Amino acid sequence: MKGKILGILAENSGLFQSGEKLSERLGVSRVSVWKHIKKLQQLGYQIDSSANGYQLISSPDALHPWEFPQRESKIHYYQEVNSTMTVAKDLARKECPHFTVVIAEEQLAGRGRLSRTWHSAGGGLYFTIVLRPKIPANLVSRYGFAASLVLARTMRDHFGIDAQVKWPNDILVNEKKLCGMLSEMEAVDEQVSFLNIGIGINVNNDPTHHEPNATSICALLGETVPRKKVLSIFLDAFENEISGESLDHVLAEWKKYAITLGREVTIVSTKDTFRGKAVDIDETGALMVELKDGTLEKVYYGDCFHQP
């Protein structure tokens, strides 16, 4: 209902809409309209009310489900959670539908790769998407590559940011980290039951307190940007990207934006550390590293450090 009220007020921007007209159009009582408007005002929507009705003056940059009308029923929005990964895993185990999205304004225990903390102060975008791809478990990494590819494209095409991808799924700009991704999956008999992709994007937050070598969209553009615009463009493009028959094309296109290939790298995983030249990725997304003795090592998981 709140989304519908906001939709009508936005359609008629600059004009007052009477409570009577709104209640007629929405098929609810005037008292109900008034209650929703009160709640929206409390949530930061600036709505003027007068004897002529209501007028929308401005909206906060909030990520409430009704801000995404086409996907409202599949968005779970929280002001604060420990980690959207934990909430998404619970929902996935309870059979939530494909492309359910869990969003939090702030995370108290945001998780990064290799058990690191992902600091999640207000102003950033923190969300996890639950996917149910009908594929064998060894191909899931393609979805992470698709997500980083689409995010790099979104930054380039819609925000004029020269984004590149670092293996496996980081987004960097001028070698500084703009976005990180974390995947978790469960499989039964080699078939994926769910794959959760968690994404943290530095938008209007300042990540440099904890990560000196990080950046944000706001720092790059010199102005704040609406997070709902970033999220809604990304979700639409990502859903479209993965809706086709196969993701065979993704790795080839990912390579076009890749900053890792051709570089001297150190790859650290929970078990090993490899040093060498990153020469390619294989069809599963594994990084092929040419070691000093000329042998090729395929690395499936780890954190990648580019040598200067």
Count of residues binding ligand BTN (CB under 6 A)?
20
Q: Cα–Cα distance between 22 and 2 in angstroms, integer?
A: 12
DSSP bridge pairs for 258 = 165
Are the CB atoms for 114 and 159 separated by under 8 Å? Answer: no
Cα separation, 116 vs 1, whole angstroms: 40
In the bound state, the residue with its beta carbon closest to ligand BTN is 180
Residue 17, beta-bridge partner list: 54
Q: Give me the 171-200 binding string for ligand BTN, x by CB under 6 A, dash otherwise.
A: ---------xxx---------------xxx
Residue 126 Cβ, how far from ligand BTN at the closest point, in Å? 4
Instruction: Centre a 10 Å sphere on the Cβ of residue 216 and count the other Cβ atoms it contains.
Output: 24
DSSP annotation of 98 reads T
The least distance separating ligand BTN from the CB of residue 86, rounded to whole angstroms, comes to: 8
Q: Yes or no: say if 86 and 48 are a contact pair by the CB < 8 Å rule.
A: no
- For the chain, the first-to-last Cα distance in angstroms comes to 54
Among all chains, which residue has been given the structure tokens 């970033």? 230
Give the whole-angstrom CA distance, residue 200 versus residue 107.
10
**CB of 59 or CB of 196, closer to ligand BTN:** 196
Q: How far is the CB of 6 from ligand BTN (least distance, A)?
A: 26
How many residues comprise the chain?
308
Minimum CB distance to ligand BTN, residue 156 (Å)? 20
Which residue lies nearer to ligand BTN by CB, 84 or 141? 84
Residue from 17, 59, 100, 107 touching ligand BTN (CB under 6 A): that is 107
Helix 141-159, helix 227-241: angle, nearest 10: 130
What's the closest the beta carbon of residue 295 comes to ligand BTN, in angstroms? 28
Given candidates 74, 89, 111, 228, which one binds ligand BTN under the rule CB under 6 A? 111
> Is 83 a residue that touches ligand BTN (CB under 6 A)?
yes
Of 22 and 197, which has the nearer Cβ to ligand BTN?
Answer: 197
Instruction: Return d(Cα 101, Cα 92) in angstroms, integer.
Output: 11
- The answer to the question of residue 302 lying near ligand BTN (CB under 6 A) is no
> 161 — alpha (psi -120 to 50), left (phi > 0) or beta?
beta
Q: Please, which residue, 6 or 104, has the CB nearer to ligand BTN? A: 104
65 scored as a contact of ligand BTN (CB under 6 A): no
Nearer to ligand BTN, 19 or 198 (CB): 198
Residue list 133-152, contact with ligand BTN (CB under 6 A): none
Task: Give the residue with the Cβ less far from ligand BTN, 56 or 172.
Answer: 172
Q: Which of 165, 68, 178, 67 is nearest to 125 (CA)?
A: 178
Binding flag, residue 205, ligand BTN (CB under 6 A): no
Question: Token pair of 244, please?
Answer: 């086709």
Task: Indicate the residue among 53 and 110 with the shorter CB distance to ligand BTN.
Answer: 110
Tell me which residues touch ligand BTN (CB under 6 A).
Answer: 83-85, 107, 110-113, 116, 118, 126-128, 170, 180-182, 198-200
